[in-house]
Structure 1
Amino acid sequence: MDFTGILRQIIISTPAILIAIVFHELAHGWVAYRLGDNTAKLSGRLTLNPVSHIDPFGTIIMPFVLLILTNGQWVFGYAKPVPVNPYNFRNPRSGMALTAAGGPAANLMVAIICTILIKWIVLPLMGVIPDYIFEPLILILRATIMINIVLAAFNLIPIPPLDGGRILMGVLPLQYAQMMERIEPFGSLIVIFMIITGLTTVFVWPIVKLFFNILSLF
């Protein structure tokens, strides 16, 4: 892909990435707030303003580098984690599990909304909406669907500090949850190893396919 193609991909992917990470992090904070923890609210994270959620490396540098290294074929990013104090929950374990589940659930909801927009609103207006608006809009909506689905699936990998690990820690018997808690300091290294070796694909793509099967219902 030439420079023009990569630039085009950046223009398409940027709003999709921002939508995905903003709603993911906002959902964590909102669920925590509803369960009694106002840490995210006091930190100014219960907002749709992307500036409050952007991580310079994870939101800007890493996606840009990935686009360049993969010749515009693949992009991924993350935002600043929302601060949560589990001791503000009535039940810290279940509170953390529900808070963790909020992020992937929000990404799936965004993907569903974008699917409905494409199928029920945008495509029926094809020929009515000018091509210079219609084509970029379709590309951005499709990119938003894909990035939200992949982000949700990736975060459901059951290794802390990813959301899937925190969900698992909340539902496992206490002794096993404590074992996973001891793994958490090494969790990021484990996930990086899985990415390098391709092991993430083994877990992520079946979930991606499942989510796309859900989207086909709309």
Structure 2
Amino acid sequence: SAAFVVGLFIRYFLLPWQIYTQILLYLLLMNLGLGLFNLIPIPPLDGSHILENILPPKTAEKFRSLGRYGPIVIILVVLLDNYAHTGILNAILIYPMFHLGHLFAGDNLWRLLSLLR
């Protein structure tokens, strides 16, 4: 079913291979970015649950009580990064995302990124 649709797409809408590699590169980077963003230890993201299980019980309880402020912190971090150009998201997401992308795609990642510019 999915292979049939892909086969039809390739047969009738065949595009140059560079476009397919660019699409795959974007999908790889988006997937890595979303995964890393989800691992940030701010409630309600999954990273907060991981941190909560690592912390001692009393500290975990205090951390859990701060959970209701998590969405506000996330919004503030994103706004600060966009408008004050703090570079917080670059340090947390972009650099690790490209290093993980290099781990998965090898040297091809840098070559593909040069094609995108």
Instruction: Report the TM range for the smaller structure's normalisation.
Output: 0.5 to 0.7
What whole-Å deviation, never above 9, does each CA across 1:135-156 have from its counterpart, x for those lacking one?
Answer: 4322221111110111111111
Q: 2:72 aligns with which of 186, 189, 195?
A: 189
Q: Could you say which structure has the higher helix fraction?
A: 2
Residue 141 (str. 1) matches residue 30 (str. 2): no
Partner of 2:112 in structure 1?
none
Structure-2-length-normalised TM-score: 0.64
Runs of 4+ in 1 over 3 A off after TM superposition: none
Counterpart of 1:202, as a letter, is A
Shift in CA distance, 135/212, structure 1 to aligned 2, threshold 3 Å = closer
Counterpart of 2:25, as a letter, is R
Q: How does 1:21-60 map to 2 (within 5 A)?
A: none
Counterpart of 2:100, as a letter, is F
Unpaired stretches in structure 1, ≥5 consecutive residues = 1-129
Higher relative contact order (CA 8 A, sep 6+): 2
Aligned length: 89
Q: 1:201 & 1:135 partners in 2: Cα distance?
A: 27
Conservation of the 8 A alpha-carbon contact between 2:42 and 2:70: yes
Counterpart of 2:71, as a letter, is S
Aligned residues with identical type, % of pairs: 25
Conservation of the 8 A alpha-carbon contact between 1:157 and 1:204: no
Unpaired stretches in structure 2, ≥5 consecutive residues = 1-12, 82-87, 109-117
